[in-house]
Amino acid sequence: MTKIDIISGFLGAGKTTFIKKLLEEAIAGEQVVLIENEFGEIGIDGGFLKDSGIEIREMNSGCICCSLVGDFGKSLEEVLTKYQPDRVIIEPSGVGKLSDVMKAVRDVAANLEVALNSAVTVVDASKCKMYMKNFGEFFNNQVAYAGTIILSRTDVADAKKVDAAVKMLREANPKAVIVTTPVSQLTGSQLLEIIEKPDTMEEELMKEALEAFEESHHHHEHGESCGCGHDHHDHDHDHEHHHEHGESCGCGHEHHDHDHDHEHHHEHGESCEHGHDHHDHEESCGCGHDHHDHDHHHDHGESCGCGHDHHHHHADEVFSSWGMENVPAMDRKELEAILDELAYGADFGDVLRAKGMLPSADGEWLYFDLVPEEYEIRTGAPTYTGKVCVIGANLKETELENVFGRS
């Protein structure tokens, strides 16, 4: 089965940089055909397979590069039949509609053993607003049909301009993963994982929260509970924010997985090894949901997608989720202050679970995982965007947006 990846974007957006990183760092061992579809802009001058409108430009490192003109679908079938590659990367012309290329690929897939693996659009963060205004139909099509949107030049663009670009892109495409971390800070393997796998952190976090809620309700009489199984309001803050093994925090959970013989965090020399489970790209901050203004929530009467039946105690009516993407950098002390309130206070509502990853002011990335009265912070390698997800009851979304957002 040949995988087909479509990498679209306007001229100069950064498509070549992205494709080169994939070829060199992620799929170097595969037989790859790289196709440029210029819709007749490139003249054919005696190249290989000339009659089919295919020009072979170069061949090296197992990668065959060619340009297709004329009948794109027919030419694509010719290439697939002749070379039978592991993967085809299609780089359409900047003025082409992504939906048209996707349809052509699906038509070919009806006859050959191929599959549309991903549809990626690369967008220059500093030009997003201008392109959306001046090239509406073509640009918006590339955005709307993408499964992943790579925002380029976020390291040199003004932060507020990047925020505005994320907001506009999210309104045009509620479900795509939006990458705001500079591609240079991510590995080719990370990028490949981002475009191939869904981001499901919010769904997984909600599932954990609902399971914890239902478990806690087995230990409470009706009327004893605040609705989430926790009392977040009467804690004495003379503690060190952790529990020794064997101690109970009174929240109804057993926190065996956290060794908190420290004050909520690991020392800076410690690493999360980047292989930990809490930020695989199968996780999500809710980037598969509609979150205008960089934040989102949905009441789980709308279906949490976790596969559970929450009829008793109406857990799906009790909890909601809030999330933010493109979370700006903050230092560890700032994050600890926010997590202290999330874990022990009530300023943000009744918080049952929270998880996130965000850049720190000193260049590291901070990963956190929180349950009532307990949290941990780890350091790790960059991921595709800063993101936070909070699950709970009566969440105060404005306050959450203010503390995690860019003031």
CATH of the domain at 302: 3.30.1220.10
**pLDDT for res 157:** 95
Helices (H) and strands (E) in the chain, counts: 11, 14
Pair (135, 250) in one structural domain: no
How many Å is the Cα radius of gyration of the chain?
Answer: 24
Query: What are 300's two structure tokens?
Result: 């789980």
Residue 213: band (very low, low, confident or very high) from pLDDT cuts 50, 70, 90: low
Better pLDDT: 12 or 297: 12
- Sequential DSSP letters for 54-110: EEEEEEETTEEEEEE-SSHHHHHHHHHHHH--SEEEEEE-TTS-HHHHHHHHHHHHT
Q: DSSP character for 43?
A: P
Domain that holds residue 300: 201-404
Pair (51, 65) in one structural domain: yes
Pair (229, 351) in one structural domain: yes
Ranges 19-23, 174-178, 237-241, 384-388: which has the least confidence: 237-241
Q: Is 214 buried (19+), middle (13-18) or exposed (0-12) by CB count in 10 A? A: middle
Pair (61, 156) in one structural domain: yes
CA distance 165 to 125: 6
**43 CB contacts (<8 Å, ≥6 apart)?**
none
Other CB atoms within a 10 A radius of the CB of residue 106 amount to 14
When pLDDT is averaged across residues 85-114 and rounded to a whole number, the result is: 88
pTM as predicted: 0.70
Residue 395: band (very low, low, confident or very high) from pLDDT cuts 50, 70, 90: very high
CA distance 280 to 301: 27
**pLDDT for res 25:** 93
CA distance 164 to 107: 36
Pair (376, 264) in one structural domain: yes
Torsion of CA 121, 152, 37, 61, to 10 degrees: -110
Q: 254 phi and psi, to 5 degrees?
A: -110, 120
**355 CB contacts (<8 Å, ≥6 apart)?**
201, 205, 278, 283, 368, 369, 370, 388, 389
| Listed residue (232, 221, 259) closest to 353, CA to CA | 232
Residue 262 pLDDT greater than 50, yes or no: no
Residue 285: band (very low, low, confident or very high) from pLDDT cuts 50, 70, 90: very low
CATH of the domain at 39: 3.40.50.300
Q: What percent of the chain has pLDDT over 90?
A: 49
When pLDDT is averaged across residues 17-42 and rounded to a whole number, the result is: 79
Pair (76, 18) in one structural domain: yes
Residue 327 pLDDT greater than 60, yes or no: yes
Ranges 95-99, 156-160, 400-404: which has the least confidence: 95-99
When pLDDT is averaged across residues 372-400 and rounded to a whole number, the result is: 95
Among the candidates 196, 229, 254, a domain finishes at 196
CA distance 359 to 37: 37
pLDDT of 130-155, one tens digit each?
A: 999 998 888 999 999 999 999 999 99
Pair (42, 125) in one structural domain: yes
Residue 86 pLDDT greater than 70, yes or no: yes
Among the candidates 196, 219, 237, a domain finishes at 196
- Sequential DSSP letters for 245-292: TT---SSS---TT---SSSSB--TT---TTTSGGG-TT--SSTTS--G
CA distance 392 to 285: 15
**Mean pLDDT taken over the chain:** 76
CA distance 275 to 19: 24
CA angle 361, 364, 367 (to 5 degrees): 105
Pair (41, 65) in one structural domain: yes
44-60 burial: b if 16+ Cβ within 10 Å, else e: beeeebeebbbbeeeee
Pair (38, 165) in one structural domain: yes
Pair (23, 153) in one structural domain: yes
CA 131, 133, 134, 137 torsion: positive or negative? Answer: positive
Q: Contact at 8 Å (CB) between 6 and 98?
A: yes
Q: 360 phi and psi, to 5 degrees?
A: -100, 165
The structural domain count of the chain equals 2
CA 6, 8, 162, 299 torsion: positive or negative? Answer: negative
Residue 81 pLDDT greater than 70, yes or no: yes
Pair (144, 207) in one structural domain: no
Query: What are 402's two structure tokens?
Result: 């203010």
- Sequential DSSP letters for 159-184: HHHHHHHHHHHHHH-SSSEEE-S-GG
pLDDT of 183-203, one tens digit each?
A: 999 999 999 999 998 776 777
Among the candidates 141, 165, 196, a domain finishes at 196
Pair (126, 243) in one structural domain: no
256-286 burial: b if 16+ Cβ within 10 Å, else e: eeeebeeebbeeeeeebebeeebbbbebbbb
Q: Is 330 buried (19+), middle (13-18) or exposed (0-12) by CB count in 10 A? A: buried
